[in-house]
Structure 1
């Protein structure tokens, strides 16, 4: 039997040994929690924006590196991070709903932070059962099966993404208006919020192109306005730009670390079953006073989100509580919980380290075999 046949046999044995996920039973338990509450969405967004914008404004009035300045800076970052994660909720909302919420979010957050809602449309591929964990899923890398260098580079990319995005919006956007070839490249390679740099976004539909052009034009005008201010106003924009850059880096780094703990990232062999996808995802239901900071708007319930992608964030704690109370003792969903993000990231780090050791041992064995063959 070949190695591939052996692995396939083991996978089949594991699949048959695990209890199946009863979606009908789970949906029955949470059926009344699937409708989003507009009042909660609007209140959360507007209050978070008011706090974040106020804290951001007063940072410059504090003594440099004082406790007050650092505190206000971190507060603004946490609020803007929370606001940014609403993009995750919006992409799962039914088309034609929450229209004004989407528009206001883009005006307050999407455009100023150069992350308009169209860059996250591809997130839906992450939830398609035949795409999850494959090369068609831009939000998945087999980081549990590669070396630690990939984890480090992933987090450090937070420092280079802001200038790349500014270049995309300020320079490439107007060029796409006159070059169809460049427009196709930009739309397929530089228009998605993903973690896999090799991901190629499918060409958008005509309706999606209209939305993309409207939003990217707004981003271009925002960047152009700041560029003009830098040239004409002089000194003042520079502290603003530095603070904006550091805010962007902090938000991106928070999200990168959260992302490391969102999945176990064990898949590097193509399509996964729904059960494997669920068990590859992680919930952090404990210590909400801290997990809500790094996993806002329900992102700390990532396995639950993969079970019910349209479940609104404000109902996730109650949905998780019900599922844990009413699902059978051997339900696979119970295996998706971790206590802390730190434990999830450390587990991923250790598995990546073990892969490095195995690869190094294989290379040494191959070199020794070559040496023995040459000696013979």
Structure 2
């Protein structure tokens, strides 16, 4: 049995690479594992040798200490890998298959899964519907920023790449299928982006950039990306986006300079609960700012996609209400403008096969759009630090040197 290493959350601001247990076909006790999941048998699972596993902004929320994540949690929910072992109940996935792993863990059997709502599976997290690898309050499934990882319900969850050699040629692009590409795409779909749309995307991190690329894929006429970080705005501009620097003032005024009118057809929140203010408040945390500004700049009858993460518990929030996930949202404005809102985890399986085909047939260059940058597993702490400092990159961990090799 080979050894295993994983990227472990040690406390606010600190991650380290440690020796970890090699996966078994049973969920063991450990940091963050729900007691009701301990001892759960997994004959339907597969063990993967990790080819690529990405650092996500959602991971960063935990590492900053903005959640109740326990020390010792192995991180990582964006996984691409090669199957090295399957449980006795796995029928169709085979050893040697190269696969993408949706970050949603879903059973394929419950009502929500059968309706395509895989982000809120009813059978994988005893606390509430919905689960993910290596994430706080998600049932305790071990994260995939590791050499090897276990994936339950393998026949259901895994997306097999049809040609292994061809897939390896585009592995950095395909690594985005586990989360940020479908998540950005979902934000645009739920916001109603279509040919000719004008689109405003709050946040130029990897999800925001993936949403921008998705908007173009869906036929948007103008895509406007807003952020505080010049390097990230430059990255958005590099593939055709207009940009808004919210440190300079309210987005509405800058949108009017771009479009000749102060409103857009569609908007996407790719920031979430650690949002900052605009203008003179740009360095101050204002968790409701993005949602309120999106209602302000979206035309009446428009829709707002909200793939940005919001949490039920934020111990680092500036006020008591926000610590419990309560924000001062101008719902009256959204109601008056007949806005449609879509929230929650992206159901990755709704989109990942189609987006895989778009990648394989050169319809999109998602790795270039998000500036995907491979680093070794041992460099993960550095990657987390640089990402936290605002690096305009999507760090892709390469545990076995497969990508660089």
Q: What is the TM-score normalised by the length of structure 2?
A: 0.20
- Structure 1 or 2, whichever has the larger Rg, is 1
Highest relative contact order (Cα 8 Å, sep 6+), 1 or 2? 1
Q: What is the TM-score normalised by the length of structure 1?
A: 0.21
Structure with bigger strand share is 2
Structure with bigger helix share is 1
